Amino acid sequence: MLRLDDVHSGYGQSQVLKGISLELADGQVAALLGRNGAGKSTTVKTIMGLVPPRRGAVLLEGRRIDGLPPSRISRLGVAYVPEQRRIFSYLTVRENLSIAERPQSAWSVARLCEMFPRLAALMRQRAGTLSGGEQQMLAIARALATGPRLLLLDEPSQGLAPSIVDAVVDSIAEMRSGGLSILLVEQNLEVALDLADSVYLIDQGNIVFSGSGRELRMRADLQARYLGVET
């Protein structure tokens, strides 16, 4: 579905990604883990075309998308939920979903209501008045409404209470069952290990480990070194 080959990118003078290679198979979840400032968000922004790659290739189903503008990449079926969620605060929940919905999407507003019953009850509320967890669900639902093949999720569990994190995890698992491919950026190791078919650790703009969640679970050394997990 998605492949990055030796991708370099950055901002102005600063080089952030120093040769990222990763692969995400169709219908799978890959997690990208690493400390603050490691380059996780830069990686998803580079895939989305928001930060232009300086070297290397980004391939979506074998087709190169690096160098394309974000709007084209979006129309090719890539949806992005940024860290800050970026919903339209002054629009209602329904309006946020309706303006995102594309006719060919498998995720109609009706289906999204079934998937996120909590949102269904809040359709007429202004999005800016939702709780953090509700806003995260809305941001994910809105991305699905565009009918993506590939979903880029940047730290969906960030700042949420544990029970809400569980609900977000359930919804991501349901999306995967629906055949969606997902690249999940996480700092919450448990969330990533719960969901991911494969895991990548990033540090200072380099991939320093790739493998299965099971492998990473056994590697306390890597968790301590790259994620600051206490042993």
Which residues from 121-160 bind ligand ATP, rule CB under 6 A?
none
Q: Which amino acid makes up residue 144? A: L
Compare residues 115 and 139 and give the one whose CB is closer to ligand ATP. 139
Compare residues 113 and 168 and give the one whose CB is closer to ligand ATP. 168
Closest-CA residue to 216 (of 26, 204, 197) = 197
| Chain centroid to CA 229 | 22
Which of the ranges 31-39, 99-107, 124-132, 166-174 carries the binding residues for ligand ATP, by CB under 6 A? 31-39
Does 146 bind Mg ion (CB under 5 A)? Our answer is: no
Q: Which of 30, 32, 38, 41 binds Mg ion (CB under 5 A)?
A: 41
Helix runs in the chain, H state only: 40-48, 70-75, 93-100, 109-115, 117-120, 132-145, 162-177, 189-195, 213-218, 220-227
CB 7 within 8 A of CB 58: yes
CB 54, min distance to Mg ion, A: 19
- Picked from ligand ATP, Mg ion, none, the partner binding residue 42 (CB below 5 to 8 A depending on kind) is ligand ATP
CA–CA separation, 129 and 148 (whole Å): 27
Which residues from 68-127 bind ligand ATP, rule CB under 6 A?
83
CB 214, min distance to ligand ATP, A: 24
CB 20 within 8 A of CB 38: no
Distances from the Cα of 98 to the Cαs of 49, 95, 124, 145, in angstroms? 24, 5, 12, 8
Does 177 bind ligand ATP (CB under 6 A)? Our answer is: no
Q: Which of 1, 22, 30, 38 binds ligand ATP (CB under 6 A)?
A: 38
Enumerate binding residues for ligand ATP (CB under 6 A). Answer: 11, 14, 16, 34, 36-42, 83, 187
Site for Mg ion, rule CB under 5 A = 40-41
